[in-house]
Amino acid sequence: MAESGTMRGTDEIQSYKAQVVAELQKKGMWAGVEPEGLELVMLKDGIGELKPPEDCGASAVVVKPRSDLTTILSCHLAWSEYGVAVPLLAHTADFTVEALAKRRDYDETPEGLLKEWVDNAGLTARLHRAPTTWFDGHCREVLQDYYPLLKEEPLNSALYAAVARGRSGGFSKEDLPQTNKLRELMAILPRPMGEHAERLVNVHGDLWDGNILHMPDGTAVLTDFEQSVVTSAVQDLVHVTHKPLMAAYLEAMTGDKPSEAEADRLLLEAKIAEHVHFFVIRSLFGYDDQPGNIDELIEHSRVFATFATKLREDAECAKKILDKGDSVDWRGAMESEMQS
């Protein structure tokens, strides 16, 4: 069959057809499928969907080049087994084969948005309840070798996901922040507090709707594991910091509907972690075009840490700020509260 599309990697995926068939047939799938009968549909550069003939009853699969980073494969294998990642059907030294999963389009209404948050919170809770042993040993050690300061940091440090992102993104060791300076910064920054914020769990690290797919039966699963580590649960709650999602997450984790105060406490921790991740740490590890000035970030973080302590100790003050939602000016609020 002819291949559709002229994206980069088309010839490479084409060359894998016979191997893909052989690997799947070893596992009892794609019986009777021949490489010549496969249709290739390129989904994006380097990633293709292989579709068997409709009359053979076999399901389409997605073929991707295998990452050079063994941590990504280790994570995908474990999470696929736990049922929280796109099923990994086969892998070789050159490629991986996944089940076909697609994004779900929710209604663009308040009800549709709430449904999406509740679904995503349920997936996050499933991920956070899954075993974390895949990260023990090799996966943790390679990150610590890439940035040795991690050996001094607790596992629930916000630094783990940032370092994973820097390593997977090819950020050179020569461009990493000075160890002494970052050690000083990490000692100042507020750490997660509370059972549901600081608990050590599987963390995807980039948990937004673009990395959440759905299987044909509706089951939500994750994709893209470049930033995945084991660290504090709140690191997966920084991408959508809204109270309904916090409440849905707590209910999915505990089985009980949380009180408003409980949802507010977790939302506050998510907002603090959001600021630490997006404003302070990420620019130091290749997320942005220009690395942040670490001396300025240290001075900013001294003020922010005091502000975070004030919010944790004064629920009324915290609620006043959190109730503003995304419209809150955190810098302005920080300056105002610190002067009062």
Instruction: Check pLDDT > 70 for residue 280.
Output: yes
Q: Is residue 75 part of a domain?
A: yes
Identify residue 143 by its one-letter amino acid code.
L
Domain residues for the domain of 20 are 10-99
pLDDT tens, position by position, 211-235: 999 999 999 999 999 999 999 999 9
Mean pLDDT of the chain: 91
Residue ranges of E strands in the chain: 39-44, 47-51, 61-65, 88-91, 95-99, 200-203, 212-214, 220-222, 229-232
Same domain, yes or no: 16 and 145: no
Report the number of distinct structural domains present in the chain: 2
Name the CA dihedral angle for 61, 64, 66, 68, rounded to a multiple of 10 degrees. -150
- Give the span between the Cα atoms of 117 and 49, in whole angstroms: 29
Comparing CA positions, the residue from 229, 217, 307, 219 lying closest to residue 268 is: 307
For the residues 131-151, what does the mean pLDDT come to? 95
Instruction: Check pLDDT > 70 for residue 22.
Output: yes
Q: Is residue 203 part of a domain?
A: yes
pTM metric for this prediction: 0.91
* Residue 327 confidence (pLDDT): 59
Same domain, yes or no: 14 and 121: no
Burial of 190 (0-12, 13-18, 19+ CB in 10 A): buried
Q: How far is CA 261 from the centre of its chain?
A: 27
Same domain, yes or no: 91 and 231: no
Same domain, yes or no: 42 and 173: no
- Give the span between the Cα atoms of 97 and 109, in whole angstroms: 35
Using N-to-C axis directions, what is the helix angle for 110-129 and 243-254, rounded to 10°? 40
Same domain, yes or no: 74 and 144: no
* Residue 328 confidence (pLDDT): 62
* Residue 176 confidence (pLDDT): 84
Same domain, yes or no: 318 and 184: yes
Domain boundary among 71, 99, 127: 99
For the residues 21-27, what does the mean pLDDT come to? 98
Instruction: Check pLDDT > 80 for residue 339.
Output: no
Same domain, yes or no: 161 and 218: yes
Q: How confident is residue 174, by pLDDT bands cut at 50, 70 and 90?
A: confident
| Contact partners, residue 91, CB within 8 Å, separation at least 6 | 66, 73, 77, 97
Q: Is residue 4 part of a domain?
A: no
Q: How confident is residue 275, by pLDDT bands cut at 50, 70 and 90?
A: very high
Question: Residue 222 — φ and ψ, nearest 5°?
Answer: -105, 155
- Vertex 121 angle, CA 120 and 123, to 5°: 65
Same domain, yes or no: 289 and 225: yes
* Residue 68 confidence (pLDDT): 87
120 CB-side CA count, 13 A: 28
- Give the span between the Cα atoms of 242 and 327, in whole angstroms: 12
- Give the span between the Cα atoms of 135 and 155, in whole angstroms: 11
Same domain, yes or no: 245 and 286: yes
Instruction: Check pLDDT > 70 for residue 2.
Output: no
Q: How confident is residue 63, by pLDDT bands cut at 50, 70 and 90?
A: very high
Q: Is residue 223 part of a domain?
A: yes
Query: To the nearest whole percent, how much of the chain has pLDDT over 70?
Result: 93
Which comes out higher in pLDDT, residue 291 or 53? 53
Q: Is residue 317 part of a domain?
A: yes
Same domain, yes or no: 185 and 67: no
Same domain, yes or no: 144 and 26: no
Same domain, yes or no: 181 and 312: yes
Q: How confident is residue 313, by pLDDT bands cut at 50, 70 and 90?
A: very high
Domain boundary among 64, 99, 134: 99
* Residue 170 confidence (pLDDT): 79
Domain of 223, CATH number, reads 3.90.1200
* Residue 225 confidence (pLDDT): 96
Q: Is residue 131 part of a domain?
A: yes
Q: Is residue 147 part of a domain?
A: yes
Instruction: Check pLDDT > 50 for residue 1.
Output: no
Q: Is residue 87 part of a domain?
A: yes
